């Protein structure tokens, strides 16, 4: 198991479990809960969710999945931008805690920037920390310019993580955001690290996977995990997918394999707009 240590001292798995699109179908709930529990069994004890996902439905799935196991889980959720006023953050957190069946979040993120000033949101987060309802806070979908607004010199105060889109087909953050966050001791969390079909079906990626007798998604995930200090949170609502993803934490790609992937999915040569889903 690979681990990443956050700036607040928390040691968390580099490979976690995402929940985007979970909770949208009552018929899928049993499989989703089973997949999350299987992930916990395999040591993928970081679970990421958000009040936006199925309008709280995903948090409900997570709450069921972690029942009786909360102490082993590093639990992350996110607040809507329109709820990110000082008072709004408080109310949103209370709703999330209720759906998740817990009294504390390990990490609470601002899902993306909205109309409320960052100072208000941060004040709300800090109040939640003081009350013991969250242990740490961070952001999501923040580019390097956004991160610099937290303070002079790009030191983003108590922000411990920035969750952004990152996969083989979306490498723009490597140009400036990854080094900026590393310099400020802010951990990158990669959402949708498997990309879409165009990535996973790429002939070069498929060839590497076939040679190793593993899924192309496993190779794509191992590629993300090659980046020091980066946490990957792929969504997997089926046990088989969770098990395939788990293999990635033990997979080290060779220099030749990385060179092939760099040729097909070239690294950025200039700053690009931050990708979002």
Instruction: Give the pLDDT confidence of 10-37 residue by residue, as tens digits.
Output: 999 999 999 999 999 999 999 999 999 9
Q: What are phi and psi of 74, to 5 degrees?
A: -95, 110
Query: Across residues 169-190, what is the average pLDDT?
Result: 94
Would residue 252 count as lying in a domain?
A: no
Residues in CB range of 262: below 8 A, 6 or more apart: none
Would residue 260 count as lying in a domain?
A: no
Give the residue numbers spanning the domain of 78. 12-195+227-237
Structure confidence at residue 151 (pLDDT): 56
Query: Whole-structure pTM over 0.85, yes or no?
Result: yes
Would residue 268 count as lying in a domain?
A: no
Would residue 266 count as lying in a domain?
A: no
Residues labelled as active-site residues: 53
CATH number at residue 106: 3.20.20.100
Would residue 182 count as lying in a domain?
A: yes
Two structure tokens written together for 90 = 């408080």
How many domains does one find in the chain?
1
Contact in structure between 87 and 124 (CB atoms under 8 Å): yes
Query: Across residues 129-152, what is the average pLDDT?
Result: 89
**What angle (nearest 5°) sits at the alpha carbon of residue 58, between those of residues 56 and 63?**
95
Two structure tokens written together for 274 = 């931050």
Structure confidence at residue 236 (pLDDT): 87
């Amino acid at each position: 198991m690979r681990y990443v240590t956050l700036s607040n001292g928390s040691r968390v798995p580099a490979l976690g479990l995402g929940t985007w699109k979970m909770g949208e179908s009552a018929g899928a709930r049993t499989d989703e809960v089973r997949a999350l529990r299987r992930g916990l069994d395999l040591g993928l004890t970081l679970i990421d969710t958000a009040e936006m996902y199925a309008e709280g439905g995903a948090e409900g799935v997570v709450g069921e999945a972690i029942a009786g196991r909360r102490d082993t889980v590093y639990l992350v959720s996110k607040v809507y931008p329109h709820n990110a006023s000082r008072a709004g953050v408080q109310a949103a957190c209370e709703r999330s805690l209720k759906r998740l069946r817990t009294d504390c979040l390990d990490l609470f993120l601002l899902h993306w920037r909205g109309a409320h000033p960052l100072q208000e949101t941060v004040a709300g987060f800090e109040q939640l920390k003081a009350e013991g309802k969250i242990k740490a806070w961070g952001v999501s979908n923040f580019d390097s310019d956004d991160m610099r607004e937290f303070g002079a010199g790009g030191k983003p105060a108590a922000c411990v993580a920035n969750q952004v889109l990152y996969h083989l087909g979306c490498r723009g953050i490597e140009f400036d955001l990854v080094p900026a966050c590393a310099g400020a001791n802010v951990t990158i969390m990669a959402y949708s690290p498997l990309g879409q079909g165009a990535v996973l079906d790429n002939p070069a990626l498929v060839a590497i996977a076939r040679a190793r007798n593993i899924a192309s998604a496993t190779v794509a995930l191992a590629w993300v995990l090659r980046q020091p200090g980066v946490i990957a949170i792929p969504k997997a609502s089926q046990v088989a997918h969770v098990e395939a993803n788990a293999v990635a934490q033990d997979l080290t790609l060779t220099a030749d394999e990385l060179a092939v992937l760099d040729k097909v999915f070239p690294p950025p040569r200039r700053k690009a707009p931050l990708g979002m889903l």
